[in-house]
Structure 1
């Protein structure tokens, strides 16, 4: 009986590993992981896109400070006690990094649901305008004539970015212990977070297209590898303490660049090769 259970467990693990390998292979082939990086360069070279971020810097710093203080006070020593068994003397440093990342994750989840929502919306729509997708943006908000891409943004008719959900925070801490496993655990944690993050990357784009929940789920399901690739890189960038707010905006720019390329090509991502996506990403800098 016990041998049968062990054999079944082995089969389950093998099947899951095969699924993850296929997902990683699809992510690599899609080239979608490049868009968060391209988003950084595009953001830095288009000053008009800085306006939404600039308006939120001060309140964001206040929020970050109100989170990081209590986190160190209440969680540093308990986690240090655990990390000592994993990292030995280095636990003093690794625990600091862990608390900083935890704080950044909490601030990111809360700020996106409340503080940054409108600013991220403007950033996505502004990038779409910059990529000549005016007709698409006009389906979700008023578009003015004259001025830069941010000045052209009028009243938003629909706001699709997800509000704060306690489940996101709970899910984060459920998988957090994976980080106690050196290297492998951290990679798994990042991958799991990336998969979840990928599901919401194009919420705004889907809404502008007028897609139903069923159609959106079907599209994301068919391109799970591509969205996981984007989500994993975006998650990694947003785990950087303090700079996470900057990467929240550059990732939004990257998502808009990707949406604009999909719209311009009007083709299935599964039919798009990695070199083609790389060429499209390079053009995004223009």
Structure 2
């Protein structure tokens, strides 16, 4: 072996070590920034606020009550079919990875799969208009009527839901094929005990957070560039909201209730942003104006 070979090997090892250190430092910095953003924005509290606000305002119950029977039938049918068809085959596979814990992890996996199927069907066909009305009604109740009027008629009156009129701006975005594929791709993470399930919830929640204000952005008529800039700047806040919302909607039977309370929570958050009662607003407003100017060039 020549003398140059050990030196070359050492240089390669040093180079890889430096790059690994740079990657770890960069990832740590991003994770720290996301955590700081989540804590400062308090976005993770809005799904909880949505529960209490929804319970305290009976006028917001109507969209849920109108859909409770068909949603209940859908939920019972999907969960029943999934346990009959997929539980035992999946238990056999999970037993290879999780041992005695497979009985419990398979139940969680089957519930996750059922939740995704129910979510895809209900959000695309059953609950789309209903959730949009809940979001708009909450915004009106929180004195953000001017924003809602950018996308629909708002009549006079005291009941925020009865004030909602004809919609003339794009509805809630339907679940795309890309999102469906993403859900399916994340599912194998559940084969990894505990850590895999936590990763599944985080990834699913992080994506969920990115779409919770789709209706708000539509009403504000923000461009794709403005939306991306806002969400990228506040990725920690939206991820924390999405994780909490996902955990709530994973609870069987009552998941539909949390679909509505999470929508209320998202609207409360949007109303606070609109009234500048949130620390996210002041720091990002100049960047949004710049992004808007760039989109017009």
What are the ranges of 5 or more consecutive residues in structure 1 without an aligned counterpart? Answer: 273-286
How far apart, in 1, do the equivalents of 2:82 and 2:73 lie? 15
Q: In structure 2, what is the equivalent of residue 278 of structure 1?
A: none
Contact 1:101 1:240 in 2 (8 A): no
Q: Kindly state the Cα deviation for residue 165 of structure 1 after the two structures are TM-superposed.
A: 1.9
What corresponds to 1:98 in structure 2? Answer: 109
**Residues 5 and 77 from structure 1, CA distance in 2 versus in 1: closer, same or farther, beyond 3 angstroms?**
farther
Deviates more, 1:78-87 or 1:56-65: 78-87
The equivalent position to 1:66 in structure 2, one of 70, 74, 77, is: 77
Can you list the C-alpha shifts for 1:52-77, whole angstroms capped at 9, x where unaligned? Answer: 00000111122223322332233212
User: Retained in 1: the 8 A contact 2:187–2:200?
Assistant: yes
My pick for the range that moved more, 59-68 or 237-246, is 59-68
Q: Give the Cα separation in 2 of the matches to 1:59 and 1:114.
A: 11
1:266, CA displacement in angstroms?
6.8
CA shift for structure 1 position 12: 4.2
Distance across 1 between alignment mates of 2:15 and 2:86: 39
TM-aligned CA distance change 1:267 to 1:246, over 3 Å: closer
Give the match's secondary structure for 2:193.
coil
Partner of 2:91: 80
- Tell me the TM-score normalised to structure 1 length: 0.87
Deviations 1:129-173 (A, max 9, x none): 110111111111111112511111111112331113232222112
Secondary structure in 1 aligned to 2:211? coil
1:164 aligns to what SS in structure 2? Answer: coil
Size of the aligned set, in residue pairs, is: 272
Aligned to 1:198: 209
Matches within 5 A, 1:112-123: 112-123=123-134
Q: Is the 8 A contact 2:40 2:279 kept in 1?
A: no
The worse-fitting range, judged by mean Cα deviation, of 109-118 and 40-49 is: 109-118
Match of 2:290 in 1: none
Preserved contact between residue 160 and residue 203 of structure 1 (Cα < 8 Å)? no
In structure 2, distance between residues paired with 1:72 and 1:66: 10
Larger CA Rg, structure 1 vs 2: 2
Q: What are structure 2's unaligned runs of at least 5 residues?
A: 1-8, 284-297
Describe the SS at the equivalent of 1:155: strand
Question: Partner of 1:212 in structure 2?
Answer: 223
What SS does the aligned partner of 1:55 have?
Answer: helix
The equivalent of 2:174 in structure 1 is 163
Deviations 1:87-127 (A, max 9, x none): 32332233123212210121012211111010001100100
Kept after mapping to 2: 8 A contact 1:121/1:159: no
1:127 aligns with one of 132, 135, 138:
138
User: How high is the TM-score relative to the length of structure 2?
Assistant: 0.84
Distance verdict in 2 for CA 1:185–1:94, change over 3 Å: closer
CA-based RMSD: 2.3
Q: Distance in 1 between matches of 2:168 and 2:161?
A: 16
Q: Which has the higher contact order (CA 8 A, sep 6+)?
A: 1
Counterpart of 2:163 (choices 134, 152, 173) is 152
